[in-house]
Chains A and B, each alone.
Chain A
Amino acid sequence: MTGKLFIQLLVNGISIGAVYALIAVGFALVFSVLKFSNFSFGGTISACAFIGFFFQKAFNQPPYWITVLVSSVAGVLIALTVDLLGFNRIRKKNSPKIYYFLSSVVFAIMIEQILTVFYGTQMYAFPSIFATTTLQIGGITFSKLDMTILAIAISLLVILIIIIDKTKLGLAIRAVAINSNTSRLMGINSSVIIVLTFAIAGFLGGITGVMLGQKYSVYASLGPSMMLKGFIASVIGGLGSLGGAIVAAILLGVVEIFATFVFGAEIVPIVLFGIMLIFLLVRPQGIAGRIAEEKA
């Protein structure tokens, strides 16, 4: 492997890692507050990709950012609907966490199925945003789209981290994540914060949907197929930790690209399985998580 190729692969790995990061952060956000892995997120991403596409088509190619905005608003609405129909009653009834998980899996299947039934017969692709798709810098090829996605992902993540770490809203989200009941005593409307968290995740899902739809084409299993990677990244990062999820997602992207290059694509799931196994055995709390020990 030449140095140039190495750097090229690294660039590719980081680009795909950025996509995983967007998904992983959506996961981690919901996990940190509600303590369950929201599988319906994959469906939300697919649905948003479709909505963005149809919007783009219906309004004869409006400026790109409007499409992204529409799609992310749609993402928020979908997330809120899923919360209302899938999680709200479970939360009210204080049912075990496993029901949230189950409910989200059912939603994942349902959204994918709805999209397949209504739109599965055709293939859809966004019109390209760039006339030429690549850029050469020092012999390394950069895909303009990938760079855009990377930039958007990083800026979104930075904004998100600032919101979470520096604002009052973020403080409230963190407090609810630690203990939603005590947060209510602080005058925080925990339900609103929980719904808001869903909304933020949905917003991310909307943006991710358009990005993914642009990069790959628009199809029903688009979100779900990427979702597992996001899920893995959020776990390796330490369940619920945003920073950890981002680091893990980028690492996952890079590892995946190199493993594919070296071993071939079929082995990658097995390599990933092995890496996860070793990782969890060595560091069960994830990159940034902490172990909550049970007190007798």
Chain B
Amino acid sequence: MNNYQIGLTILSCVSVITVTGVYALTGLCGMFSLGQAAFMCIGAYGTFMLTRYAGIPLIPAALLGVLAGVIVAWVVGRLTLKLRRDYFALMTVALGQAIPSLVVVFSEYTNGALGFTKIPKVNGLIWITLGITVLVVFCIRNLKYSRYGRMCLALKTDELAAKSFGINVYKLKVKIYILASAIACIAGILFALRNRYIDNTQFNWALSAEMQIFLFFGGSNSLTGAVVSAFVLKMLPNILRNVQLFGVSMQEYRIILYCILVLIILNFRPAGIMGEHELNFRWVSRLTAKIKNASGRNGGKA
């Protein structure tokens, strides 16, 4: 793999990481957030302002960056998660606007619109990213199959019933929101390390919306679906970069194509590509059996 492909892979992994967090929030708990990009922003700016101005080494700075995101998520979560779900979604939209505009307010340090650079170069970033991606996906998968996962799915379907089993719905929601936001912070840091340049416009609501689209494309009830679609859909535009179709370059139309793809999924398979399936051995074996079956039937007819 050359640097270009490595770079794209890192980018796709960053999207997988964020979407995994969004899966915990939306897929498991049913909370729709359009402000996760703001946490990427906090993570990235927090960390690299510390490395640049306070001279803190990268790893402690990254931890502090994530901590900053956690604090913001805690405050916002505590205030908004008692509200109805659509209001929570709205507040995340507003948060998604407010945080990037803070970057401009503190232009003196963040370099505002001119973009923030001097981000340290990390060797072997691809391995670190892959490692973190695997770790995050692993963790969220475990979360899904733990008591937390069950409680989240319970509160997603019926908050009132969940409460009657002693589940503190509000606290649980705050916890998951913080978790998802911390994951977004990590993704933001990796994103900055990859680009070595960040500016406020990169973290707007379109990015948050993209995460949700990835999630629902893959299937909001399937972590596998979310991970696969986040990776593939992020990669796709760059694969389509120079593809030609009927003599017309696809480069300009790639996002349009990609919207059409998502619309087709929404119309004809609203549960997402994967529905509720997760990739596990049982599923794989069932699938192979099905294929065998189908081919067997066809053979019989022929």
Contact = CB atoms under 8 A, between A and B. Distances in A.
- The answer to whether A and B touch in the complex, with CB atoms under 8 Å apart, is yes
A239 interface: yes
Given A105-B213, A110-B259, A267-B105, A273 B267 contact: no
A250 B94 CA distance: 18
Contacts of B262: 106
A186 interface: no
Interface in B196-233: 205-206, 209, 212-213, 216, 220
B266 interface: yes
Contacts of B10: none
A170 interface: no
A30 to B, nearest CB: 14
Contacts of B91: 273, 276-277, 280
A291 to B, nearest CB: 8
A272 B266 contact: no
B83 interface: yes
A62 interface: no
A109 B212 contact: no
A267 B216 CA distance: 34
B94 A105 contact: no
B263 A106 contact: yes
A93 B265 CA distance: 13
A270 B263 contact: no
B71 interface: no
Contacts of B97: 228, 269, 272-273
Interface stretch (A83-91, A146-154, A171-179, A198-206): A83-91
B94 A273 contact: yes
B252 A117 contact: yes
Given A117-B252, A228-B93, A266-B104, A93 B270 contact: yes
B105 A85 contact: no
Contact of B216 (A102, A107, A117, A232): A102
Nearest to A239: B86
A294 B87 contact: no
A78 to B, nearest CB: 15
B109 interface: no
Contacts of B32: 98, 101
A110 B261 CA distance: 11
Interface string B127-167: 00000000000000000000000000000000110000000
A267 B104 CA distance: 9
A106 to B, nearest CB: 5
A234 to B, nearest CB: 10
A93 B80 CA distance: 31
Contacts of B104: 266
Contacts of A266: 101, 104-105
Contacts of B283: none
Max chain A Cβ within 10 angstroms of own Cβ: one of B104, B206, B259 = B259
B263 A103 contact: yes
A34 to B, nearest CB: 13
A114 to B, nearest CB: 6
B64 interface: no
B98 A270 contact: yes
Given A99-B270, A102-B213, A267-B105, A273 B98 contact: yes
A107 B159 CA distance: 31
A143 interface: no
A136 B58 CA distance: 60
A90 B213 contact: no
Contacts of A93: 270
Max chain B Cβ within 10 angstroms of own Cβ: one of A90, A268, A270 = A270
A24 to B, nearest CB: 13
A284 B84 contact: yes
Given A103-B263, A109-B255, 9 more contacts: A85-B263, A109-B259, A114-B256, A228-B97, A235-B90, A267-B105, A273-B98, A276-B90, A294-B160
The 5 lowest CB-CB distance pairs between A and B, nearest first, are A110-B259, A273-B98, A269-B101, A273-B94, A95-B270
Interface of A: 37, 85-86, 89-90, 93, 95, 98-99, 101-103, 105-107, 109-110, 113-114, 117, 228, 231-232, 235, 239, 266-270, 272-273, 276-277, 280-281, 284, 294, 296
23 contacts: A85-B267, A89-B268, A90-B267, A95-B270, A99-B266, A101-B32, A102-B213, A109-B206, A113-B255, A113-B256, A113-B259, A117-B253, A235-B86, A235-B87, A266-B105, A268-B101, A269-B97, A273-B97, A273-B98, A277-B80, A280-B80, A281-B79, A284-B87
